Amino acid sequence: MTKKAVVIGAGIVGLAMARALAIRGFRVTVLERSGRAVGASVRNFGMVWPIGQPTGKLLERAMRTRSIWISLCEQGKLWYDPCGSLLAVHEQDELDVIHEFTELNRAHRTCEVFDPERAISKCPALCRDKLLGALWSDSEVIVDPRQVLAALPIVLKELYDIQFYFGKCVSHVSHPRVFCGREVFEAEVIVVCSGYDFETLYPEAFASQPITRCKLQMLRTVPQPDSWRMGTACSAGLTLTHYAAFRDCASLAKLQERYKVSHPEYLQYGIHVMASQQGNGEITLGDSHEYGLTFEPFDSDHINQLILNYLDLFLKFPTRRIAQTWHGIYAKMTNGASELILEPESGVLIVNGLGGAGMTLSFGLAEDVVEQYLK
């Protein structure tokens, strides 16, 4: 008899878990409290970003996720751009880090240091002034999070007969039952993918975990005129201090010390600046990182201006007119873990705490979780 699974949450983690279960023969139902996915999964760059993951398990997971993204986009006829990425550097200590990174990773990644001319030929948006070079990686992929999170439920239903119920707020779980008010769903396997809303279900389980929230601010330009394309995803020196992939570089410590003096506000607000272009020509910009359990509901124009000021140092677009600003909130582990997997009761799994790497790691993580816990 076919086993049933209920997945709670239709964000990217929930969709990834639903797919991983379905391809292994489960009859999957996804319950989402909103009318569509409106949380962190649609409030990001749409970057699948393996270059930011440390060598080993997480890089392998990111590359597995990349492969699944491409497959799903092609099967669903969804826009994606395997454009790779450039990390532009403007100071010698930044250049030292990317040279060291490429030496450490020759056997693990396709990346190299481009000189300024080669970097600009790859990305015409790069500013020539003070540009010393850029770290090129061919592994990054851009999707439009607003498009794919709306379309993937349709694609997954067509491919794997996964059933989606939107506007179903889960009030209680007691295996094998999931309660949405008076409505009850039953399944052998229940997976809770509730993101930053981790007090609602199993609050005691979360209370004992090293987990918090992160608020990030982002912006989007209007579509660039005349079908102009920036060529690749881009970031700059501050990004070296943000991603775990660069922590093995001994030269990073010197760079971090300089930033404490030269960019104290950027470190205070966890700002590093990246840009990705969507299929319709809009460019997503960001972001900041503020940690805690409760945040101001209002966005800071000062933080947005810091992001735009740093952007001006390394990227120029035909138009920088901002169409939208917003913030997102995601769950983040405080102990350095890349995810949180809990079994609060037999037959129930909680999958959470991916931080800002949901687009990059979710599909690969879901494969690992199902293989490990649901053999």
- CB atoms under 10 Å from CB of 342, counted, come to 17
Q: Does 171 share its domain with 37?
A: yes
Q: Does 186 share its domain with 309?
A: no
Q: Does 180 share its domain with 154?
A: yes
Q: Does 134 share its domain with 245?
A: yes
Q: Which residues contact 372 (CB under 8 A, 6 or more apart)?
A: none
In order, the DSSP letters of 54-122 are PTTHHHHHHHHHHHHHHHHHHHHT--EE---EEEEE-SHHHHHHHHHHHHHTTTT--EEEEPHHHHHHH
The mean of the pLDDT values for the chain is 96
pLDDT in tens, 297-348: 999 999 999 999 999 999 999 999 999 999 999 999 999 999 999 999 999 9
CA–CA gap between residue 354 and residue 168 (Å, rounded): 24
Which of 161, 186, 165 lies closest to 26, judged by CA? 161
Mean pLDDT of 38-55: 94
Q: Which residue has the tokens 């971090």?
A: 256
pLDDT in tens, 59-91: 999 999 999 999 999 999 999 999 999 999 999
Supply the pLDDT for residue 374: 83
Q: Does 363 share its domain with 227?
A: no
CA–CA gap between residue 129 and residue 131 (Å, rounded): 6
Which structure tokens are listed for 337?
């873990």
Q: Does 114 share its domain with 164?
A: no
pLDDT at residue 1 is higher than 90: no
Q: Does 115 share its domain with 246?
A: yes
pLDDT at residue 14 is higher than 90: yes
Q: Does 188 share its domain with 156?
A: yes
CA–CA gap between residue 375 and residue 365 (Å, rounded): 15
State the CATH number of the domain containing residue 153: 3.50.50.60
pLDDT in tens, 145-181: 999 999 999 999 999 999 999 999 999 999 999 999 9
Q: Does 112 share its domain with 190?
A: no
Number of structural domains (the chain) is 2
Could you list the residue range(s) of the whole structural domain that residue 162 is in? 4-44+146-209+337-373
Q: Does 238 share its domain with 171?
A: no
Q: Does 174 share its domain with 307?
A: no
State the pLDDT confidence band at 196, using cuts at 50, 70 and 90: very high
